[in-house]
Amino acid sequence: MSAAPVLFPAGPRPGVDPADTMDGRTRVVAARFRGVMEALGLDLDDPNLAETPARVARAYRFLFSGLDAGAEPELRTFPNAEGYGGIVAVTGIRFHSLCAHHFLPFFGTAHVAYLPKERLVGLSKLARVVELFARRPQVQERLTEEIASFLDSRLQPAGVMIVVQARHFCMEMRGVRKAGARTTTSSVRGAFADARRRQEFRAQIRRAR
Ligand code: ZN
């Protein structure tokens, strides 16, 4: 299965650390955010606000660095020499993202599992894949699907299952204002269509808590 289409494609900006530079695109974001602040009637001479457009721009460049060219982690795989056929699971991967609808944070944990065939992947790379897709404007359902599709296409495993649990500030600070509510999404590929496999992974998630 091929990766889900990226709705917010990457721009050409390789090799620049967005945390401490003020490149062209960051300047544009800062200028436009200054306009937002002016539209809100804010006093941009207030010392607390004077540098805010630049700070917001740099923060956005970092929080959305998953859009940058070259942001995709290299998934170095190695042969499954022992023929391991069980679930490989990394649970409790913390992530922070911003919702595509309101640009407010949503954050929580992702649980990633795959059933290897010929190839295995370094476990830390699974967390990097979560980070890649979290550092884009996201909706939780698409985040979950994108992680599953990416791993399915890159690892060619027997199966993939992703479970994401998150709190959404756009729900807690506005809208229905339900503090602490958690949203759970999941996505399966291949052998995880089997209910026993799904139950096995869900049990692993519960035990790891
Ligand atoms: Zn939202």
Instruction: Give domain limits for the chain.
Output: 24-67, 77-208
Distance 180 CA to ligand 1 centre (A): 15
Is 80 exceeded by the pLDDT of residue 94? yes
Residue carrying structure tokens 């942001």: 71
Q: Look at 88-102, 140-154, 164-178 and tell me which has the smallest mean pLDDT.
A: 164-178
CATH topology of domain 24-67: GTP Cyclohydrolase I; Chain A, domain 1 (1.10.286)
> How much distance in Å is there from the Cα of 82 to the middle of ligand 1?
45
CA 47 to chain centre: 34
Q: Give just the sign of the alpha carbon dihedral 137, 157, 198, 73.
A: negative
Kindly report the CATH number that applies to the domain delimited by 77-208: 3.30.1130.10
Predicted local confidence at residue 2, as pLDDT: 43
Expressed in angstroms and rounded, the spacing between residue 139 Cα and the centre of ligand 1 is: 8
Cα 202 to middle of ligand 1, angstroms:
27
Residues 6+ apart with CB under 8 A from 206: none
- The residue written with tokens 């944070």 in the block is 105
Query: Mean pLDDT across the chain, nearest whole number?
Result: 90
Task: Taking residues 150-154, report their average pLDDT.
Answer: 95
Structure confidence by residue, pLDDT tens digits, 45-78:
999 999 999 999 999 999 999 999 899 998 989 9
Tell whether the torsion through CA atoms of 46, 48, 50 and 52 is positive or negative.
negative
Query: How remote is the CA of residue 175 from the centroid of ligand 1, in Å?
Result: 9
**Confidence tier at 7 by pLDDT (50, 70, 90):** very low
Taking 90 as the threshold, does the pLDDT of residue 179 lie above it?
Answer: no
Distance 164 CA to ligand 1 centre (A): 16
The rounded Å distance from CA 45 to ligand 1 centre is 31
Distance 26 CA to ligand 1 centre (A): 23
C-alpha 104 – ligand 1 centre gap (Å): 6
Model pLDDT, residue 21: 56
Question: Token pair 């620049």 is at which residue?
Answer: 16
Instruction: Write down the pLDDT at residue 22.
Output: 64
* CA of residue 186 to ligand 1 center, whole Å: 19
Taking only the tens place, the pLDDT of each residue in 14-23 is 554 544 556 8
What is the per-residue pLDDT for 3?
Answer: 45
CA of 85 to the centre of ligand 1 (A): 39
Strand ranges, E, within the chain: 77-79, 88-99, 105-115, 119-121, 137-138, 159-168, 183-190
Query: Ligand 1: distance of its center to the CA of 182 in Å?
Result: 14
